[in-house]
Amino acid sequence: MKNKYIAAILGIFGGCFGMHHFYLGSTYAGLVEICLLFGTMGMSVIFSLAEGVMLLFVSTEKFNEVYNETKPKKLEFVFQRIKFDMLSISNAFPDKDSPAIQKLIPSRKTLIIAGACFGIMFVGLFILGIHLQGKLSAADELYAEGKQEEAVETYLAMGSFVENSDQSMSNLCEHFAKTDDERLHVWARSIAEKDAPVLVKGEYKEEVLAAVNKAKADIKAEEAARKAAEAVIAERERKRREEIDRQWEESNRRWREKKAAEKRASNAASNERARKVLDRALKNGTSINEEARKEYGGTCW
């Protein structure tokens, strides 16, 4: 008896490795999921996560119907089995059985072709990497045998891939030191940036080491300059924020002073009117309430 929550957890946290497919019995679908993981450089995680969410939100009755009462096929994905039952919860696709919606679900043949294409692409990239690594090793052997010009041509043709081999970079630096080529400093910097060992053993070792050490010093100086520039920018930003806060506080202070002055003026005016009411009442011998009614247009006390 399969549990939908176990399947959902496997789909969300291990779906990229096909764990939920293996648990639900769709073995080939799990293998295709693994091929997609490597073929898409990890992008298939989104697809497996979506399937895990579908398993989490599908009703228990529907899950039991499609996975416990009937046996799934070896190559059948979750969205093929459950289809759009999950989406009916939010009524996003009320007409889920319409031909237009069904066309959105790829066929098994399409999935097999897509998985095969991604798998072939991954295998091709893997074989290409092995080929380039072998070519790099062959160039190192040529350099060791004294065929330095031919080896250097191979190195330069392979471009930045040479940075994957410490020996190849050291060979290039030694050759450029020997020929007094300015490119020595470029590759010495590559060695310095990777903090790779200098594998030069000939008479030009000291020259290459000096170039690498100079590159390391330049990198440290650039890093120090970058940090100093960041510190200047941070200080400017701090002062700018302080100025904004100061202006804000000044604006608030002026506003509070203005309101306080208005309140004092209003209180003074009220007190003056009350004093006039009291003086008229005393002068005319009338009640304060009567004089206040004349002054304010209503009863005040």
Tens of pLDDT, residue by residue over 244-301, are: 999 999 999 999 999 999 999 888 888 888 888 888 888 888 887 887 787 777 544 4
Asked if the model's pLDDT at residue 104 lies above 80, the reply is no
pLDDT attached to residue 42: 65
Q: Which residues contact 277 (CB under 8 A, 6 or more apart)?
A: 288, 291, 292, 295, 300
* Mean pLDDT for the stretch of residues 151-176: 82
Tens of pLDDT, residue by residue over 18-75, are: 888 788 888 887 788 787 777 666 667 777 788 888 888 777 888 787 777 777 777 7
pLDDT attached to residue 25: 81
pLDDT attached to residue 50: 81
The whole-chain average pLDDT of the chain stands at 80
pLDDT attached to residue 225: 94
Three-state secondary-structure class, residue 103: coil
CB atoms within 10 A of CB 65: 15
CB atoms within 10 A of CB 48: 26
Give me the residue label for tokens 């941070």. 234
Domain ranges of the chain: 4-105, 144-211
Asked if the model's pLDDT at residue 84 lies above 50, the reply is no
Three-state secondary-structure class, residue 83: coil
Find the range with the poorest average confidence among 166-170, 177-181, 229-233, 290-294: 290-294
Three-state secondary-structure class, residue 23: helix
Separation of alpha carbons 82 and 52, rounded Å? 12
**Identity (one letter) of the amino acid at 261?**
A
Separation of alpha carbons 206 and 177, rounded Å? 10
Measured in whole angstroms, the distance separating CA 93 from the mean position of its chain's CA atoms is 31
pLDDT attached to residue 176: 83
**Identity (one letter) of the amino acid at 11?**
G
Separation of alpha carbons 33 and 22, rounded Å? 10
pLDDT attached to residue 92: 42
**In contact, 77 and 111? CB cutoff 8 Å:** yes
The dihedrals phi and psi of 73, each to the nearest 5 degrees, come to -75, 160
Separation of alpha carbons 257 and 144, rounded Å? 85
266 vs 87, more confident: 266
